[in-house]
Structure 1
């Protein structure tokens, strides 16, 4: 039997016996389902389904994912012929002519009011992407006699709490067992996850004397929710004994308070749980079996374009009502907001919308309409626009649904569907802004200063509030590219325990470092490799609290992954924990750069920060017409701000700036030294000596007086004039054990060195517990260029943190640091990490083209684009551009190129001529030609690259 016949026979066989109501609920078959059941590649299944579609033997239901139905079977069920010229439908109801499941056949037959006033009608997607979930929820609350306990599964921010609340509202209308005065009780199990006794007490209550501090008897949430619904968020954080007590209550309707021996209390409660985890791995199997209904809420990414736009409009309408002004937003901003919602889901979209609306309100203080333009968006939100570079179908759908501008008016209720929203700040930002505007206007403060002060307010009130969601989620998304989600989830749980037990915050690299350490340990166990543990018993005495905590973590690892964890692993964990605990930064010399010109000083400092990261450095630009007295006052103010107790080094260019140091010291009491003829290289060297080598002010000054830059020549390999032999060069890789993670780091750095033609530099793994013992020996034996890893070994060389190497422009940092140290000026080749990540991504997106074959041509094309744009792109932009171009080439193969729908200006036409010339490389090497439409989209991508997205170094 041919493959196409196998697939059609499968569709017919699986369709037998299904009713119209069932088809409305399941919508049809997906290509993935068919591929899985028949063992055929999904791409091949899709190709055969398209053939069947052209033969008019099946029909297609659009959506995400697409569903297919056997045309003849649907015609038999409907008792009528479907149109011959139509084989694609928007939804299943269009096929059935608007018919919906017969309420007379279901448990809701006696509750007509539920169909008339359905709370789920307020839920965006209830008739599309959430239709099946809504039907499941209705069935759960209407099932006799007391409904079915339910588990809602979905990522953070998809609306699990909202969905549970709508279930409750629907139950109050339609369920016979729930009265009007029934309560909806919400409890987050994570709040007491580390105190099982207290957690169980909150849910079931306790009697007097049940535990220390239980001075009186107390009812639990089960008692309060009697006759209603108890929503347990993050239910996977319930300890096993809590799950057992809960599933006994679900079975029998009886329970006991904590401290009681017999379960003689009764309550009628519908339990609804929610989790972000896989229930099979995070909950007891006996507990999961007691929950008959499992509802999976799709992520924002999985929702269709129409749902995303409706959610965006709804959230904008909430802000319009808050501020009582219309909000006008352009199409690019809408796409950026939607595209930026790559984590955090609807909750994150809400936070981003509040941020842009607050900024828009600030810029339109005296206008009747708040206008939001793409150019005014924060750079991190602009990145969302480039997300669509590899989503051809979705950007086409959004473009079809979005006009050039959308205006939302403050009309109607448009209030949040549920009050308990963790993404809702407990303040009204617009009121804060208006109050401060009124106050400052009364004080005759200029509009420019008002805007500056209030911009700071927005950052303080809103950015910090949402930082707990966005930065965490962003880091999480990046870490998941390196370790498995199960490992990361466990690491997050460990981080929570560490911070609570040690009563301090761990630094930002904890999750990445611990995840990698755990991954390498489990890999060793799986491969039956024995680690070469060194003698580190002294940590037991030096860090008793951390060691005891490490023992407990090792026990958790053993229980979760069912492995034996050696005692010495706890010792290594102790060292790891110690190195990752945030400590107050040591005092160091501060640097202030001042130079004539509008951006001379700030440009130098910007370059230095991009290379070495944030340091205790500030800058002052001095336009030629600026009064020197003003500059002096500003320098005094900045010196006071940045001084950390060890003085301030002033790096200036010329003129009056060279004489300000003595005046500043005399009037502020802060010691300063001044070096003139400032250059970018001088600033780099000053910061390196201040932060990495921790030198004193006078020592830095003396060492830099004669500094004239790193030079522009190739360093000779002959011995120095002193006659001492040249030491071999090395990079230190600081890790937890010297194995696993260290090897991964070593491989990565070796690739980077090979890419810049420096294969003679050794990469030395250095376990963190051996740093103090071995660093002096290593410094004597090697010329150490830099260190990378989980902690700075303080070896008088630059340090690149682990997270910067994996997540940021760490490759660029390493390259620059090595080249500067070696006085090299030849340009490096295309970054290895960019190429590697591009290939990995294209392997997922391309079907017909071989990423290894096309990547060279793509890289050359992007290099040509940089020359045309007259600015280099950073790594993130290059990866986005490479992937977009790879997908565009694939579209040329399949003859499904994008159709450009934006305005074509003479400027764009002129650019396209240059792009066409550069794109000739694809015709020469691949025999493929990019269409003008595709080139116009590439031009748009380059036009929208913000200053933050391009490298400042030239």
Structure 2
């Protein structure tokens, strides 16, 4: 939020809480008052007030001291339009009001009378985890002349639609929209499978535009004219739809489907929402036209107090709907909060409605709905055990909860009772009352009534929530891992199991059974014997599950023409029992730790969403984070996760490789470390821990040779083993330290691959010095098609230098290499091009520093280094050094400098002193000091690159 907008928003909101009489008594807002309230220097406030005055957004009241007021507020108070912005006194302004107006006693805005409160005041977390997001939203709504288009991002269920609704209500509260202004909500996912119909709904169409278009019809843009249009799941818009939207943003005009000219106009504030990464799911030209992007935190990122308040709010809504008080014990509240770790507030809402509906059924003839932990469904009870794995979080919640909570129907704020399209259109409690009376009349027992109604509750709630999910989403994810034939068979087996058990299974059965069957068929094909520890008593107490497993055995034998051994029947029995169990047992914990800002958490999230269970957690290790801090964090996390069976540590490279042994020695907790991990490996680890209940060593050794989920094909011919161990296509990105350029270069290259539609190529970021250490495992695992970065890592593939990548024909060379063609003949570039290419490179990697101002200073520094080293650097080396030194300067600005872990020789120590003297120019001209660690890294990089430049270079293929 810009400083000028922050000042205006504060003035506008503060004036909305005052009556004109109060304004006359205290005067306008002074420069000093604003500076103190917002912690902004007084001269900066004065500067911005003058800008607001020139823009005629505020008025100035002369006097000592001078006062300022928002022009829109004064016009609203007095009921007149002001023709100028400077006045001698407030009395002069009062005289402008109509004769019948009593301005001193008047309440100029609804907010001043208390009739309408600021909607953001009712938003849980507005002064906490959502504070910055609320400020962004206010700026978007208040920005003249008609607000700024906004994109709201965040995981499923974080409250994006609710936040958009509060934004709209705030716009009405602030006077931006009139009371009857339209607020249109549209979920793009409803028509994602039919892009033409999707765009027809948004833009409208003319007669004959497509089959079935019998007459002209206005779209949502026209219906929302003068107000706000909220497009939920906006990433479902096809590219042509996004282009039409951003053209409308630019011009305010659009065409309906079937029209050749853009002659339709509308004044609409657009707000979109997406669960995806905007950079990868939306056109870049579209994202650039959205000035404000608001990211909402997940439920886990909310404060403990906010989590409790969110639960109370949802319980209040149910009490209001039932019109009975609800009493719930602390353990039940913890279970509800713990069950939302990956489903966020949306999952909590679903769980609260289910729990309250069951409580209503059991307390039908009582004055109060009493909910205890004992009465919760098994899958919600699991939330308590998930929460107990995070002892610090559990303690914080326990400290803030009373033994029980009582909420009443009247407790909810009237402002929060507005209709929500994501609420059920039916009154579940009326349905229950009616059906109970019907069954009682026919003499059914209380136990039978409860059983039938409980089933009915689940059917109603599940069918409702499926309306707001992509029903094909899970199956699409499964098809990324298994064969379509396997998935279809799994669907049939799910129906068979439900019939046999007379119990409805979740969609997780499809995933668990598909993966298990795929692994079983692979073992049969490769003649690998089954082995599982402690199975002698596996069937005890599982008669029902065993009966179903025998039926599944028969179906598998008939379908795939194979013999299913008795051991597999036991496996199937365990699988079904695991899916049906209602309490989380002891199991091996899985901790994913990876370099990068979100790599580990993304993998863990995928595994948890697919399997829906598992004692799994993640640690992201940004490249500028100290390894010691990561070790401390990992030590604490392993202590929290361990439930007696140890922890499987899944890592990628570097210092993470040795942390497991250190922690095992310190804590005594069994830890196994698996390296070079992929997403399928994480999924398989969780499956074997959570579903199969395998021991730590069994999981570890079974994953050592895991190659992912192969597609099973029904054939009598043995496949070539080389096809079963197919390597992953990859590009190797190298830099000198592994903590700077390579990771940012990875993001850049990933974007280029996405634009080419090449999702099959991975980018591996690695320090040049580690390539030799891991060469054998890298070449065994990956099929490298090229390498790029500061120097050739010599892995027998074409190498694209950093200099060449950012040259004018760099993208063309990159594309040819990815497509398997030869490189262009590299051009001999003059020294003048080094500056240009270096600046272009820095543009990709620098966030805070201006490359135009930095590049010349860096090149001067490099020139001095050439004198110290006694030999000229080639152009590629200069570009590589430029990017590295530029990012080093930026790290100094952020106080996140690298830590040099090597040892300098005596000669290098002397040379470091010379580097310090040369680097003093950055302190003089940029007020940035490169510390000894950063300079040591630069010295090491110069030495390494110099040695490689002397080595004979392979010709580019």
TM-score by length of 1: 0.46
TM-score by length of 2: 0.46
